[in-house]
Amino acid sequence: MSELSVKHLLGIKYLKETDIQLIFETADHFKEVINRSIKKVPSLRDITIANIFFENSTRTKLSFELAEKRLSADVLNFSASQSSVKKGETLIDTVNNILSMKVDMVVMRHPNPGAGIFLSKHVNASIVNAGDGAHEHPTQALLDSYSIREKLGDVAGKNVVIVGDILHSRVALSNIFALKLQGANVKVCGPKTLLPKYIDSLGVGVETDLRKALEWCDVANMLRIQNERLDISYFPTTREYTQQFGVNKKLLDSLDKEIVIMHPGPINRGVEITSDVADSKQSIILNQVENGVAIRMAVIYLLASKIK
């Protein structure tokens, strides 16, 4: 396959397994490019991309911007907190104003689930979902799987546990779709209150005992407790959460194998993961960030080839 089956990247749910393999093969090439002394290619000199962020971001925003610049695209950065959104302008009006400046692609982060899908139906540009509320974060899941493939050789057949707040996590949902599409075995682990009611329909195992989950897995993806999305109390105290679902070095060292530790960031050090685990040789957290640039270059490059 030489092109994606989709015009937008709205979620992993809409991708085929062959799309993921094409993105990974393209990312392999771009990873080689960004490790050269000249880290840039002229591929997208005629493309303009707007990054519009209605929610805070460090990794995703910088990574998309760097990916676009490495591909030689023209880049516009829009932050809702400093824009006329604050004066009451709607999402569609905001985006149509940006598009009237001849923008070809919009990368959007938005707090509302489905915001990217809504936009793709109302504007004539390629849309990339950079995280929509608690729904999906497709490029995060792609870079996560790519990092597992890099570390362990393949994703198929690997046992991956996603630990923490599954209920509010777009990273969890996109990872579940991506990992299952590639043939990984997936479990989730967390307090029952932070597991969605529909979890069984996603075809994943559920484990509420962290030690058992870690003994089973090859990879543990530790999620952040998203205090900004917790409208009620889902567990008694942060201290108790950490005691039951936090990973520390002592626990890791007591396992009879060396598992891989991942985290999408930002990390709450000392809550879901201790510093000695985050910074250990078992952690691939910074590799995930590094791979994010190559993956986003691949996604943008492949989507841009469909609008030319």
The answer to whether the annotation marks 87 as part of a ligand binding site is yes
> For residues 159-182, b (16+ Cβ closer than 10 Å) or e, as one string?
bbbbbbbbbbbbbbbbbbbbbbbb
The answer to whether the annotation marks 239 as part of a ligand binding site is no
79 belongs to the binding site for ligand CP (CB under 6 A) = no
The three-class DSSP label of residue 166 is coil
264 belongs to the binding site for ligand CP (CB under 6 A) = yes
174 belongs to the binding site for ligand CP (CB under 6 A) = no
58 belongs to the binding site for ligand CP (CB under 6 A) = yes
Give the span between the Cα atoms of 57 and 195, in whole angstroms.
Answer: 25
Give the span between the Cα atoms of 43 and 74, in whole angstroms.
Answer: 12
The answer to whether the annotation marks 137 as part of a ligand binding site is yes
**Residue of closest CB approach to ligand CP:** 60
291 belongs to the binding site for ligand CP (CB under 6 A) = no
Nearer to ligand CP, 131 or 191 (CB): 131
Cβ-contact 272, 223 below 8 angstroms: yes
283 belongs to the binding site for ligand CP (CB under 6 A) = no
- Token readout for 213 is 């989950």
265 belongs to the binding site for ligand CP (CB under 6 A) = yes
List Cβ neighbours of 84 (8 Å cut-off, separation of 6 or more). 94
Of 145-153, 203-211, 248-256, 263-271, the window that binds ligand CP (rule: CB under 6 A) is 263-271
Angle at 37 between CA 34 and CA 42, to 5 degrees: 60
**Least distance (Å) between residue 280 CB and ligand CP:** 20
Q: How far is C-alpha 304 from the chain's CA centre? A: 20
Give the span between the Cα atoms of 113 and 131, in whole angstroms.
Answer: 8
Nearer to ligand CP, 60 or 120 (CB): 60
The one among 211, 266, 276, 279 contacting ligand CP by CB under 6 A: 266
Of 57-65, 99-107, 110-118, 198-206, the window that binds ligand CP (rule: CB under 6 A) is 57-65
Given the rule CB under 6 A, which residues bind ligand CP? 57-60, 131, 137, 140, 264-266
Which residues are documented as binding site for carbamoyl phosphate?
A: 59-60, 109, 137, 140, 265-266
